Amino acid sequence: MYAQLVKSEGTKSREEMSPEEIAFQERIDRGEKIEPKEWMPEGYRKTLIRQIGQHAHSEIVGQLPEGNWITRAPTLERKAILLAKVQDEAGHGLYLYSAAETLGVSRDDLLDKLHSGNMKYSSIFNYPTLNWADIGAVGWLVDGAAIMNQVPLQRTSYGPYSRAMIRICKEESFHQRQGYDIMMKMAAGTPEQKAMAQDAMNRFWYPALMMFGPSDKDSVHSAQSMQWKIKINTNDELRQKFVDQTVPQAHYLGLTIPDENLKWNEETGAWDFSEPDWSEFFAVIAGNGPCNEERLGARVKAWEDGEWFRDGLMAHAKKADARRAAAKHAAE
């Protein structure tokens, strides 16, 4: 299969590959999963650490904009649902940090890179959640875009990542439905509630489109990642699928997609739409989004506030070891 891909920067042709690299690529082409202790090219390991690490960071930073609304959810039921959803995201982070650790990187190291700004998380979480309808829009659009990205990753070539994705995707579809359910209530509510739903849609539409990453022509890592089946579809393919899925859902809600160029295209059988403002995307990625400082500050504070607890666990483990050693000594 890989021979069909256009050779681009960073992708090796068969002649340039070592025998190990050829054997590795052939396993991937046959659809075999690569497992932690098996041989893999250094680039494959590094790309996966970056991708899985960023993904893990996105899950835990993603708890922040929604956690912000747990105390203000309008009913007890909504509060319980939101609490469960935010807890799910913590669990996703943990599966993914564990998957990254199988590649020989420590969780402490990944967190250190997040806290020092040397590793990124999804740009979407640097936008604020200003009203209750935003929680609906986040579930519907943000988790919806996440599912679109993650469903193909269930077939990714790295075993631990692929298995983590299978569990995560089951929970993500519940997240999207709870978001859409909030939007249905708001859109069918009072004129003020419907206006809140439209306002949330207006603010989250383009940031959600940005979640698929830059346009294919500006995407640096695509060709090699696709050859290794770390990535299954291109950014633009997934973005198009997301738009095609979401437009009828917005129409059902009676909401307007904030894009004058949105138009059904008979020829392609898909929706034409405007690209997001990529200069905004790159500014947010570089740390200049509306909430970057607040989000990173919250993560660093949580890490620092948890130090006494980590120290306590280590001290307890040491004492337990010493006790076990003493008991063994006495028995001999």
What is the closest distance, in whole angstroms, from the C-beta atom of residue 59 to Fe ion in the complex?
Answer: 5
In the bound state with Fe ion, the residue whose beta carbon lies nearer, of 156 and 198, is: 156
What is the closest distance, in whole angstroms, from the C-beta atom of residue 197 to Fe ion in the complex?
Answer: 20
What is the closest distance, in whole angstroms, from the C-beta atom of residue 108 to Fe ion in the complex?
Answer: 22
Q: Which stretch binds Fe ion (CB under 5 A): 13-21, 143-151, 217-225, 286-294?
A: 143-151
In the bound state with Fe ion, the residue whose beta carbon lies nearer, of 89 and 259, is: 89
Amino acid letter, 243:
V
CA pair distance 2, 223, nearest whole angstrom: 10
- Contacts with Fe ion: how many residues (CB under 5 A)? 6
Buried b (16+ CB within 10 A) or exposed e, 212-223: bbbeeeebeebb
What is the closest distance, in whole angstroms, from the C-beta atom of residue 65 to Fe ion in the complex?
Answer: 12
Q: Which of 20, 38, 27, 34 is nearest to 2 (CA)?
A: 27
89 binds Fe ion per the rule CB under 5 A: yes
143 binds Fe ion per the rule CB under 5 A: yes
In the bound state with Fe ion, the residue whose beta carbon lies nearer, of 224 and 246, is: 246
**Selected binder of Fe ion within 92, 120, 295, 299 (CB under 5 A):** 92
**Residues between 153 and 182 with contacts to Fe ion, criterion CB under 5 A:** 172, 175
In the bound state with Fe ion, the residue whose beta carbon lies nearer, of 28 and 82, is: 82
What is the closest distance, in whole angstroms, from the C-beta atom of residue 198 to Fe ion in the complex?
Answer: 23
CA pair distance 273, 164, nearest whole angstrom: 33
CA pair distance 112, 125, nearest whole angstrom: 19
What is the closest distance, in whole angstroms, from the C-beta atom of residue 113 to Fe ion in the complex?
Answer: 20
In the bound state with Fe ion, the residue whose beta carbon lies nearer, of 138 and 226, is: 138
Buried b (16+ CB within 10 A) or exposed e, 237-266: ebbbbbbeebbebbeebebebebeebeeee
Residue 92 burial (C-beta neighbours within 10 Å; 0-12, 13-18, 19+): buried
203 binds Fe ion per the rule CB under 5 A: no
In the bound state with Fe ion, the residue whose beta carbon lies nearer, of 92 and 295, is: 92
Q: How many CA atoms lie within 13 A of 259 on its CB side?
A: 20
In the bound state with Fe ion, the residue whose beta carbon lies nearer, of 28 and 211, is: 211
Q: How many CA atoms lie within 13 A of 261 on its CB side?
A: 6
66 binds Fe ion per the rule CB under 5 A: no
Q: From residue 43 to residue 62, what is the string marking binding to Fe ion with x (rule CB under 5 A)?
A: ----------------x---
CB of 169 within 8 A of CB of 151? yes
- Can you say how many angstroms the Cα of residue 98 is from the centroid of all Cα atoms in its chain? 15
In the bound state with Fe ion, the residue whose beta carbon lies nearer, of 40 and 151, is: 151
Cα distances (Å, whole numbers) of residue 177 to 138, 173, 199, 279: 11, 6, 20, 31
* Packing angle of the helix pair 107-115, 76-101 (nearest 10 deg): 110
What is the closest distance, in whole angstroms, from the C-beta atom of residue 138 to Fe ion in the complex?
Answer: 9
Q: Which stretch binds Fe ion (CB under 5 A): 24-32, 85-93, 186-194, 278-286?
A: 85-93
**Which residues are at the interface with Fe ion (CB under 5 A)?**
59, 89, 92, 143, 172, 175
